[in-house]
Amino acid sequence: MGEAIVITSGKGGVGKTTTSANIGTALALQGKHVCLIDTDIGLRNLDVVMGLENRIIYDLVDAAEGRCRVEQALIRDKRFECLHLLPAAQTEDKSALTSEQMKAIVEELKPEYDYIFIDCPAGIEQGFKNAIAGADQAIVVTTPDTSSVRDADRIVGLLEQEKIGSPKLIVNRVRTKLAQEGDVLDVDDIVQLLAIDLLGIILDDENVLKAAHQGQPIVMDPDSHASIGYRNIARRILGESVPLMALEEKKGFFAKLKSMFGLKSSS
Amino acid sequence: MKTGSSKSLVTIKGTKDGLTILLDDQCSFDDLKSELKEKMTRDQHLFGNGPEVVVNVDGGYRYFNKDQEEDIRMIIEDTKTIRVGSFHSEVMSREDVKKELEESSLTTMKQIIRSGQVISVKGDVLLLGDVNPGGVIEATGNIYVLGTLKGIARAGIDGYQKAVVSASVMTPKQISIADVYFYAPERHEREENADEPLFDEPVYAYIHEEQQEVAFEKARYFHRYPSIRRTS
């Protein structure tokens, strides 16, 4: 029986979709059976980032409404046979789906996969409610800017109300130099403020943009900073204890985070 | 005093297109049916026991609705060796006329079909503009895009297999004609620059009859395509 993990943030543009695509792909690279569900109905993107947009015929709403079987709506990634995508509908809006329908679909898929990642839309309305409806766990993505962290805090509150596990944090687009100079929030500040476990950080990396343009998740390029970040996160999800990378420049910080990871166990 | 007309209501005629059964268009439908039934039983030997004979039915200026047409067919085809080829009547209902007009019409549109928009047309459609990725243009007939097709085009959505999709710049995500699908390679699957169009000159897509798959041909060879107009 697989685990359903929602990837959410509140704020838009912080990297939920990129995170979903890359963690999913990283776990598929490890041979895990992974299903990605795009719940951003009307503004779907996960198919584009994954490079799996051309073969879409049916989508999440078709499956929910019974216009097709869930299995018919799944797009199989030709690069890894264990990676599937359930795309969102593009021609409808968030109200086209109910939480109950979403829950039913996730329940139906769970036995078939090791991990199901649910890519959540921005906002806290119906789309968010649908995305978390079937989830067992949550990953909150934020960037090191104040508004994004505020929204993440709001989301953590909502997740706690819904009694969804203890959410894990990913800090995306970290710029070491700016943080060192104290010009932006550093990861430590964010972790303290949100008071949830840090699952990993992703360094700001222009290769992410390039990869998205090609429809090839960045984790498939083994050398980029972002790729290593995502691979590490995948390993932590699998229960390995992996130290945080590349922030050694800042004294004391590494050690602090390391101790956090020492405690962390992946659900 | 005469009871019943001496002129027969059902006439079987040999024409250059084969046998035609002419039906009177003034009498009552019930009279017509009973005479047809009688004649078909009586004249069965005319059609022989040999191979199947295809006959055409000409109903003159009588309107036949679906059930009535079916009744007539049943009576005729009850004779085992006869099959009704065409069923002709000079009269159509307004509804059918409207449908036929729609099916054979060309709708011209001037817009960009953007992501999430679905434009659905009866008959053929000429789009002066682009179809962006995530946008869909569909028609029961043919689709002509005087612009760039980057999204999805679905021609012959009622099952018309001879429909075509033509575009000045053809670089779709997906094309379907009737129930035959074409999927473009994903960006990462393309060897050349994925930002270049799939075809570097105007082409049209059609169903390759033998292979039953969507094929592409240069638009300049359009004149070779047998029929781009639906004939009902």
Task: Report pLDDT digits (tens) over B81-90.
Answer: 888 988 999 9
Name, of A71-85, A249-263, B4-18, B86-100, the range with top average pLDDT: A71-85
In the three-class reduction of DSSP (H, G, I as helix; E, B as strand; rest coil), residue A230 is classed as helix
Q: What is the largest CA-CA distance in chain B?
A: 90
Total domains in chain A come to: 1
**Cα dist. B63→B36, B58, B67, B147, B224 in Å?**
17, 11, 11, 44, 38
- Put simply, the answer to whether A55 touches B183 (Cβ < 8 Å) is yes
Flag the least confident range among A52-56, A116-120, A216-220, A256-260.
A256-260
Phi and psi torsions of A254, nearest 5°? -55, -45
In the three-class reduction of DSSP (H, G, I as helix; E, B as strand; rest coil), residue A252 is classed as coil
B116 to chain A, any CB pair closer than 8 A? The answer is yes
Predicted confidence band of residue A251 (pLDDT cuts 50, 70, 90): very low
Token readout for B178 is 């009737």
Residues in A closer than 8 angstroms to B134, CB to CB, are 44, 90
* pLDDT attached to residue A74: 98
Cα–Cα distance for residue pair A218/A50, rounded to 1 Å: 10
Question: Could you count the other beta carbons within 10 Å of the beta carbon of residue A69?
Answer: 12
Residues in A closer than 8 angstroms to B188, CB to CB, are 51, 214-216
> Taking residues A53-73, what's their average pLDDT?
96
Residue B20 CA neighbour count, 13 Å, CB half: 15
Which residue type, as a one-letter code, is found at position A59?
A: D
> Taking residues A68-79, what's their average pLDDT?
96
- Put simply, the answer to whether B117 touches A54 (Cβ < 8 Å) is no
- Chain A residue with the nearest C-alpha to that of B118: A91
* pLDDT attached to residue A264: 46
Q: What is the DSSP string of chain B?
A: --SS-SS-SEEEEEETTEEEEEE-SSS-HHHHHHHHHHHHHHTHHHH-SSS-EEEEEE-TT----HHHHHHHHHHHHTSTTEEEEEEE-S---HHHHHHHHHHH-EEEE-S-B-TT-EEEESSEEEESS-B-TT-EEEESS-EEEEEEE-SEEEE-TTS-TT--EEEEEE--SEEEETTEEEEPPPGGG-SS-TTS-SSSS-EEEEEETTTTEEEEEEGGGGGGSS--S---
Structural domain of residue A45, as residue ranges?
3-263
Confidence check: pLDDT of A144 > 90: yes
Q: How large a percentage of chain A has pLDDT more than 70?
A: 91
Cβ–Cβ < 8 Å for B83, B52: yes
Q: What angle do CA A33, A35, A41 make, to 5 degrees?
A: 175
* Test mutation, B188, B189, B191, chain A, max A CBs within 10 A: B188
**Cα dist. B76→A16, B26, B39, B72 in Å?**
67, 20, 10, 6
Confidence check: pLDDT of B3 > 70: no
* Test mutation, B179, B187, B190, B214, chain A, max A CBs within 10 A: B187
* pLDDT attached to residue B1: 41
Q: Number of residue pairs across A and B with CB atoms under 8 Å?
A: 39
Cα distance from A216 to chain B (closest Cα, Å)? 6
- Put simply, the answer to whether A91 touches B117 (Cβ < 8 Å) is yes
Cβ–Cβ < 8 Å for A153, A194: yes
* pLDDT attached to residue A246: 53
Cα distance from A19 to chain B (closest Cα, Å)? 19
Confidence check: pLDDT of A256 > 60: no
Question: For A91-124, what is each residue's pLDDT tens digit?
Answer: 998 999 999 999 999 999 999 999 999 999 999 9
Contacts of A105 (CB under 8 A, 6+ apart): A37, A60, A63, A64, A70, A86, A134
Contacts of B192 (CB under 8 A, 6+ apart): none
- Chain B residue with the nearest C-alpha to that of A90: B116
| CA B139 from centre of chain | 13
pTM score of the predicted model = 0.81
Interface of B with A in 126-145 (CB under 8 A): 133-134, 136
Question: For B150-160, what is each residue's pLDDT tens digit?
Answer: 999 999 999 99
- Chain B residue with the nearest C-alpha to that of A43: B116
- Put simply, the answer to whether B186 touches A52 (Cβ < 8 Å) is yes
* pLDDT attached to residue A265: 41
Instruction: Sort residue B116 into left (φ over 0), alpha (ψ -120 to 50) or beta.
Output: left
- Put simply, the answer to whether B133 touches A53 (Cβ < 8 Å) is yes
- Put simply, the answer to whether B189 touches A90 (Cβ < 8 Å) is no
Q: What distance, in Å, lies between the first and last C-alpha atoms of chain A? A: 14
Instruction: Sort residue B100 into left (φ over 0), alpha (ψ -120 to 50) or beta.
Output: alpha
In the three-class reduction of DSSP (H, G, I as helix; E, B as strand; rest coil), residue A154 is classed as helix
Cα distance from B142 to chain A (closest Cα, Å)? 20
- Chain A residue with the nearest C-alpha to that of B194: A214
B190 to chain A, any CB pair closer than 8 A? The answer is no
Question: For B95-133, what is each residue's pLDDT tens digit?
Answer: 989 988 888 899 999 999 999 999 999 999 999 999 999
Cβ–Cβ < 8 Å for A41, B134: no
Residues in A closer than 8 angstroms to B185, CB to CB, are 54
Q: Which domains does chain B have, with CATH numbers?
A: 10-91 (3.30.750), 101-224 (2.160.20.70)
B150 to chain A, any CB pair closer than 8 A? The answer is no
Confidence check: pLDDT of B230 > 70: no
| CA B167 from centre of chain | 23
Confidence check: pLDDT of A54 > 80: yes
Interface of B with A in 199-228 (CB under 8 A): none
Residues in A closer than 8 angstroms to B184, CB to CB, are 54
> Taking residues A161-182, what's their average pLDDT?
89
* pLDDT attached to residue B2: 42
Q: How large a percentage of chain B has pLDDT more than 90?
A: 68
Residue A265 CA neighbour count, 13 Å, CB half: 1
DSSP strand pairing (B124-127 vs B106-109): parallel
Cα–Cα distance for residue pair A76/A82, rounded to 1 Å: 8
* pLDDT attached to residue A177: 84
**CATH number for the domain that contains residue A104:** 3.40.50.300
Which residue type, as a one-letter code, is found at position A256?
A: K
